[in-house]
Structures are given as C-alpha cells and as structure tokens.
Amino acid sequence: MLKKLTHNIKRCIPHITVRSRRKVEQDLLKNQLVIDDIGIVLWEMDFDAKTSINPKSKVIWSNEFREMLGFENEQDFPNLLGSWSARLHPEDKDYALDSLKEYMDDNSEEKPYDIEYRLLPKNGEYKHFNARGAALRDYNGAPVRMVGSLIDISDKRNLEEVVLEHKKGLEKKQIILDSLYNVGTALLTANKNTFSKIFIKSMGVLGKVIKADRVQIWRNENVGDNLHFTLSDEWLSETGNKLEFTPKCNTYPYDAVPGWEDKLRRVKHINNPIIDLLPHEYSFFNRHGVKTLLIIPLFKNEYLWGFLRVDDCQNERIFSSDEVFDVNTAGQFFAFALIFRESLDAANNEIHKNYELTHWYRSILDALPIPISVTDAEMKLTFVNSAIENMVGKKRENIYGERCSVLGTEICNTANCGIACAKRFVNRTFFKSSGKSYQVDVSKLDDLQGETAGYVEVIQDISEPAIHRELNSEGTRDSAGVMH
C-alpha cells in the first residue's frame, strides 16, 4: 500500500520541487500509517550519504513513543537510535538491528519492514511490540527518510503464552487419561500377566509426563503390632535403573520415618526436595539416590491402603499443583485397579462373584470422572458408571437392558455410532452435545471362548477452553467425525 501510494504521488505531482515532493510524500506516508493503525506511535529518521545504523544515528521519537515506554521528554529518552537499541531484549537485539539495516539496504523495496521484538520500558518489565515502517528513497533507491510505527502487542502475546501452557497441560492430561483407559481395559479383559505389563507401562507414562525417575506403589501390611509398607510395583527411567535396586516386596516399618503414618492418614501429601526433610528422613531416601520426593496416600474405603511414591533423582524441585493433581488422580486409579484385579483374580476361582467384587467393580468405574458404558453383543446396556448417569440425567437401573441409543447422543443410530465403528475396526469416533465436543473410544469384550460378549465405550470431553477456542475459531471440528 505504501509503495503504491509513493508511486501515485510521483506520477501525480511531478511539477513540484524534489524537496517539496519529499515533504508531501513524507506527510502522506505518515498520515497513511496513522489511518492504517489507529493508536500507534511514530518515529522518523533522516538519511544522507554519511548516515549509518549506529547508536548515535539521529531518530525523532514522538512524544507518544516516549510515553508508551514510560519516558517524559527528550532528556530521559534522547533522539538517538541508541535510546531505542539499548532497551532491546538481548535475544532480540541483533535481529531488530539487522532487520532495520537490511530494509534500508534493499533498493527493491519488495520486503516490507514489519517485525516484532521486546523492549524494556522504564518500569523494568519487558513488553512485546510490532514495528512497521516505510522509507522514502531517491531515484537511485537510496533511503532519504524513514517513518516508522510501533504498537504494543503484549496482551496478545501473553494470551498466546497462556493458551500454549494450557494446551500443554491438556495434552499431558490426555496422555495420562489414555494410559489409565488402557489400564481399565486390561483390568476388565486381560489376563494377569498382560495386565501387569500394561500396568507398569502406564506407571511409566505418568513418570515420563512429570519427568520423574522412579514411580512406586507401596502397600501397607501389619507385621506384628506395627504397620509396615511393602513395595508392590515399580517403574524406573534410564536414570532410575542405574541407582540402587529396591527388591520387590521389600518391607519397612513406618517407624523408619516417624510422623509419616499420621500425616498420610490425614490425606497429606509429601512434596519436598529431600534436603528439606529431617536428618533421619534425608538419610533414609538419600541412599536410594532421591533428590525430590512426592508421596500420595492411597485408600481402600476409609483405610490407608498404601501410597504412591514419585522420585526425581536428578533435580531438586517442588512438583507443581497440576503435577500433584495428575499424580493423585493416577495414584487413586492405580490403587483401585490393583485392588479390583486381586478381587477379580480371586473371583475367577469361584462359581459366583462375591459382593465385594461387585462393589469394587462399581466403585472403581464410578470413581472415574470419565463416562463409561458396557453393552452386551446386542448393544444392550449391562453397566454404566455414575459419570454416564450425570451426563444423560438417567439412573442406571432405568436404562439397563435398553439399547445404548437410549443415551441419546447425536451419533446414536448413525454410521458414526461408536459400536458400529468398532465393528468396522474403527475404535474412535466423535460427537457434540450442548456446545461441548466428545471423543468415544470403544473396545470389544470377548468371553472365555473368544466370542464377542459386548463392548466397552469410554467418553471423554475434549472441548477446548474458551480462551483457546477464541484464538482458533477457524480450526473447529465438524459436528461429527471418525478418526481412522
């Protein structure tokens, strides 16, 4: 636009002097910048044969420019290029100066001057700015004067950073949820050996997501009159594998760490670099190469069943509240899975499942915030958890025996039905309801003879947060779709 404007000026007012024409062109360019960007601040720079890009080059900074950076007058922000360049962020300084020089040296004027960088205002907190400009050149293409604009885009960049961090957090949670889903599927369908492999792998997913080196589950048991904790399951990173080996079923009395039994019973987690622990606690964990420790209590009914322990053996830190939440969610599910699997294994040796098995089956699935339904081979509901009840507003007793279409989603009785897709070997589909987006994962259930006995459907809310949706409004998903 600016190049076209300059061309039109030269064509329409050839009768005025070179000096007058440059003055008119400069004023028109300045006005054009203001029209294009309401609220911007301006600066000007004159050139002659001796002008170079250096801190002593003269630049006319407007009063609005100074005010944007928190300065009052020419005394505290002189009309020199160095006033600006000295306040550039160290990571942006070379780029900003090189971009200005490259633009001035580009006689073709094909590449516009339009860059972003960070500047340090007087208050000492860096802000993000967008700088644009245009140069008036002589007939040989050499710059005569440059007019530039600056606009504060800090709010936009900060918003994008918040969205990016939130997106990363959602991605981590999705990874953990997918892993727990695999444990849940194995819990219901796999044999004991297969379940153990999937279980340890899922512990590893948790460890990798929060960058830990050791994830352990310890169970409580009474030895004589004292309560002890015994190692049940463990995952180790490459670093963890190089440290002192802890034999499975290794048992320690709670007396080795006085006060911890009471703290865990009160549902208090422990989240510290071990250097901050008491001397006897530090000695206990230091010999295992632990730098930072996170312990989450695990309960069966109202009794302390054991704890999940996460070790960082490389860094001293405190796990974030989001990490503690994720570890706690995974830990409670791990405990439920182990307890339920033990009950399931015991029940397989009996003719009838006992009440405790049924109780744990329902309790585990009801404890999950993810809607889960189970149907028989005829697509009739045999089980739904509390999350399904909350989603559809119906009690499970009123829909058992009904076809799964009673759930009333937009993909029911269509080709995108989760079970219909699973029969075509497509295990994931999507739907929308009440302004939210959902993902449906389906697994086939086989009986002891290997015949299809039914299906498990897991529904996850994958809606993006409002702030993310606003920035990505052009990238929304169709109302229903199938991922192959």
Count helices and strands (H / E) in the chain: 15, 16
| Cα Rg of the chain (Å, integer) | 33
Cα→Cα distances 7→28, 35, 76, 117, 149, Å: 12, 19, 38, 30, 21
If one compares 98 and 192, the residue with the highest pLDDT of the two is 98
Question: Is the pLDDT score of 150 beyond 70?
Answer: yes
- Give the closest residue to 402 by CA, choosing from 424, 384, 423: 384
81 CB-side CA count, 13 A: 18
The residue that leads in pLDDT, 294 or 358, is 294
Question: Which residue, 229, 263, 234, 268, is CA-closest to 248?
Answer: 234
Residues of the chain above pLDDT 70, percent: 77
| Distance (Å, whole) CA 161 – CA 168 | 11
Cα–Cα nearest to 39, from 5, 70, 62, 6: 62
Instruction: Note the pLDDT of residue 311.
Output: 93
Domains of the chain plus CATH, in order, are 2-152 (3.30.450.20), 369-484 (3.30.450.20)
Q: For the chain, what percent of residues have pLDDT higher than 90?
A: 14
Please state, rounded to an integer, the average pLDDT across all residues of the chain.
79
Rounded to 10 degrees, the C-alpha dihedral 372/377/378/382 comes to -40
Between 36 and 215, residue with greater pLDDT: 215
Q: pLDDT-based confidence at 479, cuts 50/70/90?
A: very low
What would the mean pLDDT of 302-312 be, rounded to a whole number? 90
User: What pLDDT, on a 0 to 100 scale, did the predictor assign at position 11?
Assistant: 43
Spatial contact of 404 and 375, defined as CB atoms under 8 Å apart: yes
DSSP labels for 11-63?
A: HH-TTS-HHHHHHHHHHHHHHHHHHHSTT-EEEEEE--TT--SSTTSB-EE-H
Structure tokens at 96: 């900003």
Give me the pLDDT at residue 23, please.
56
Q: Are 61 and 82 in contact (CB under 8 A)?
A: no
| pLDDT tops 90 at residue 89 | yes
Per-residue model confidence as pLDDT tens digits over 199-253: 888 888 888 888 889 999 999 988 888 899 999 889 999 998 888 777 777 788 8
**Mean pLDDT score, 164-171:** 64
- Which pLDDT does position 26 carry in this prediction? 60
Residue 122 has pLDDT above 50, yes or no: yes
User: How many residues in the chain?
Assistant: 484
40-78 per-position pLDDT tens digit? 667 888 776 555 678 888 888 888 888 889 998 888 899
pLDDT at 84: 92
Q: Is 331:178 a contact under the CB 8 Å cutoff?
A: no
pLDDT recorded at residue 315: 93
**Which of 469, 483, 365, 369 has its CA nearest to residue 422?**
483
Q: DSSP state, 380?
A: B
Can you give the pTM of this predicted structure?
Answer: 0.43
Confidence of residue 466 (pLDDT cuts 50, 70, 90): very low
pLDDT the model gives residue 16: 37
- Give buried/exposed letters for 309-326 (b at 16+ CB in 10 A, else e): bbbbbeeeeebeeebbeb
Q: How confident is the model at residue 368 (pLDDT cuts 50, 70, 90)?
A: confident
pLDDT the model gives residue 460: 86
pLDDT of residue 17: 43
Note the helical H segments in 86-191.
Answer: 93-105, 154-189
pLDDT digits (tens, 9 = 90+) for 394-440: 898 888 898 988 888 888 889 889 889 988 888 999 988 888 888 98
Instruction: State yes or no: pLDDT of 391 exceeds 80.
Output: yes
Higher-scoring residue by pLDDT: 33, 314: 314
Q: What is the pLDDT of residue 179?
A: 65
Asked which of 20-34, 147-161, 250-264, 437-451 is least confident by mean pLDDT, the reply is: 20-34
Q: What is the pLDDT of residue 240?
A: 87
Contact 378, 402 (CB under 8 A): no
